[in-house]
């Protein structure tokens, strides 16, 4: 499988190609970030519950996460172990009273972290009263990444854990992947379609597979079966920057190929937003693109 590298250091790995956000590793909070006292359970506020989670059993942070995680804690978010990895959770004060509860579920890029994704999305989350769940799927100690089946298993476990821990009912979930996480979002969303159907739609930010190449095993199997309705019901919104050549070829070519693939097998694509001046991961730096993606999501039922 070909997957992308860190934003700053491009390289080639396998079939999927995309580049992740800055390097990260989890951290233990300092004593000044002690958890608040509160309750848990299906009637508890998700914001209060998230503020209790301080990552017991999660390894210490390195790199940019050293500052990003305390910022997440200070804003009322938290982290919690899931499987052999962890997830981040954050709910703004307006989440509980929102007429429609929505949560952005983030998959980070190569070398990335949930904290990095929260840092990129926090302003939009607060403005729109969206919640946030971000899944770690990289082992920082070994450099190994979970495959799509493990990512989906941990994603299901994360959502089940949150549902059992706070008032998370009647919530719409939107998977948004960056770079490697965008590439993984294609097979993960298919696995969800044929299993739990937890996801309302998917946002893809600068990540697919190489033009002329093959996607992951899950999607190769979809193509081999030849069922042109296999992905019916999946909904995508995609972003690419016309100035994104991190992999050595135009990212928009790879994203257009991914668009054509999912449409061939029955999925719908709200848009492929081609940013004329955008570089890798430019979605979170383009206010018009972000507005269009959220507007697309918020119109869905």
For the chain, domain boundaries = 16-22+44-298
Question: From CA 161, how far away is CA 105, in angstroms rounded?
Answer: 14
Homologous superfamily (CATH) for 16-22+44-298: Alpha/Beta hydrolase fold, catalytic domain (3.40.50.1820)
Q: Which residues of 266-283 are buried (b: 16+ CB within 10 A; e: fewer)?
A: bbebbebbbbeebbbbbb
**Contact status, residue 79 vs residue 124, Cβ threshold 8 Å:** no
Task: State the pLDDT at residue 53.
Answer: 98
Q: What is the pLDDT of residues 81-98, one digit of tens each?
A: 999 999 999 999 999 999
- Written as one string, the DSSP assignment of 179-192 is THHHHHHHHHHHHH
What is the structure's pLDDT at 11? Answer: 33
Sort strands 131-135 and 171-178 into parallel, antiparallel or unpaired. unpaired
Phi-psi region of 90 (alpha: psi -120 to 50; beta: other; left: phi over 0): beta
Residues 6+ apart with CB under 8 A from 33: 54, 70, 73, 74
- Those residues of the chain that have pLDDT short of 50 are 1-37
- The C-alpha angle 43, 44, 47, rounded to 5 degrees, equals 140
> Smallest Cα–Cα separation from 223: which of 271, 196, 263, 269?
263
Burial (CB < 10 A; 0-12, 13-18, 19+), residue 249, is middle
pLDDT of 5 reads 38
């Amino acid at each position: 499988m070909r997957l992308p590298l860190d934003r700053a250091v491009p390289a080639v790995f396998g079939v999927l190609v995309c580049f992740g956000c800055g390097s990260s590793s989890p951290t233990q909070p300092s004593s000044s970030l002690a958890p608040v006292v509160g309750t848990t359970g299906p009637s508890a506020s998700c914001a209060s519950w998230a503020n209790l989670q301080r990552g017991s059993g999660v390894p210490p942070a390195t790199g940019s996460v050293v500052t990003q995680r305390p910022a997440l804690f200070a804003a009322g978010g938290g982290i919690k172990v899931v499987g052999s990895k962890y997830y981040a959770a954050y709910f703004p004060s307006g989440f509980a009273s929102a007429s429609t509860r929505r949560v952005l579920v983030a998959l980070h890029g190569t070398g990335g972290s949930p904290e990095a994704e929260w840092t990129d999305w926090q302003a939009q989350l607060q403005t729109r009263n969206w919640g946030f769940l971000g899944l770690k799927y990289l082992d920082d100690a070994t450099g190994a990444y979970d495959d799509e089946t493990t990512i989906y298993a941990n994603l299901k476990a994360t959502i089940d854990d949150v549902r059992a821990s706070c008032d998370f009912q009647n919530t719409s979930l939107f998977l948004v992947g960056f770079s490697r996480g965008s590439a993984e979002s294609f097979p993960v969303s298919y696995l969800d379609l044929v299993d739990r159907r937890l996801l309302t739609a998917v946002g893809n930010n600068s990540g697919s597979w190489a033009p002329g190449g093959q996607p992951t095993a899950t999607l190769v199997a979809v193509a081999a079966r030849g069922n042109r309705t296999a992905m019916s019901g999946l909904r995508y919104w995609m972003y690419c920057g016309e100035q994104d050549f991190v992999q050595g070829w135009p990212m928009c070519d790879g994203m257009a190929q991914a668009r054509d693939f999912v449409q061939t097998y029955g999925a719908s694509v709200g848009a492929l937003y081609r940013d004329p001046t955008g570089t890798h991961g430019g979605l979170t730096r383009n206010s018009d693109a972000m507005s269009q993606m959220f507007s697309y999501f918020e119109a869905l039922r």
